[in-house]
């Protein structure tokens, strides 16, 4: 069975990679199979790790009145399922709006505390580094100055209260350069991540066919 599963995985990998040549029915089959299996997996995962232990087991496992608070999330879940039925689809908007609002609030707090504030703290440093090693001190000082200039110029690019001319125009142009470098680095990181996945699948195929 392990050998059979390995050959199925190899065949599906080849089917997905066949899209590099052109769109074909083999690729569409593998794509739809992947989406269907993923959807089925998440349904089972949510039932096994969310609904059953956190709702059903908690409700029937408790003896106090605290368990009745679980009726609220259960009711919200039932209201979301009503979206599948045309006559009651509008009811699902209430729990979905509530869930989206909570998710947006949590995401906003996480972004501020986990991204914006650390980024601000990372720019609060001395421009001139002091240390015993002259080479390391000079390199750190140059790095600090480049970061400071990049942050200030990037902020100047988004300053729209005045026309960009004179020193403001020069600063915004320098900010564009830093922004493009940042976007390029992010894009390169994304490309390399996809290439690493491709290398992993190619290595898997080579092992299956006994080439490596």
Distance (Å, whole) CA 77 – CA 90: 14
Please name which of 37, 75, 70 lies closest in space to residue 55, comparing C-alpha atoms: 70
User: pTM (2 decimals)?
Assistant: 0.62
Report the alpha-carbon distance of residue 32 to residue 15 in Å, rounded. 12
| Residues 76-90: tens digit of each pLDDT | 988 988 888 888 888
| Exposure string over 117-137, b if 16+ CB within 10 A, otherwise e | eeeeeeeeeeeebeeeeeeee
The pLDDT tens digits of the residues spanning 114-147 come to 988 988 888 888 888 776 676 778 888 888 889 8
């Amino acid at each position: 069975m392990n050998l059979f599963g390995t050959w199925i995985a190899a065949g599906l990998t080849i089917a997905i990679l066949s899209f590099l040549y052109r769109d074909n029915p083999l690729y569409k089959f593998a794509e739809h199979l992947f989406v269907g299996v993923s959807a089925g997996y998440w349904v089972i995962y949510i039932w096994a790790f969310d609904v059953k232990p956190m709702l059903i087991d908690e409700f029937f496992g408790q003896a106090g009145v605290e368990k009745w608070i679980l009726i609220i999330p259960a009711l919200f879940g039932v209201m979301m399922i009503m979206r599948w039925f045309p006559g009651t689809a509008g009811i699902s908007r209430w729990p979905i709006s509530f869930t989206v609002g909570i998710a947006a609030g949590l995401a906003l707090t996480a972004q501020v505390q986990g991204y914006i504030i650390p980024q601000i703290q990372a720019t609060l440093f001395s421009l001139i580094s002091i240390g015993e090693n002259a080479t390391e001190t000079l390199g750190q000082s140059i790095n600090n100055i480049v970061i400071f200039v990049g942050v200030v110029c990037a902020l100047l690019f988004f300053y729209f209260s005045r026309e960009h001319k004179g020193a403001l125009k020069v600063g915004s142009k320098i900010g564009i350069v830093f922004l493009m470098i940042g976007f390029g680095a992010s894009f390169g990181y994304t490309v390399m991540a996809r290439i690493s996945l491709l290398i992993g699948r190619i290595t898997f195929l080579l092992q299956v066919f006994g080439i490596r």
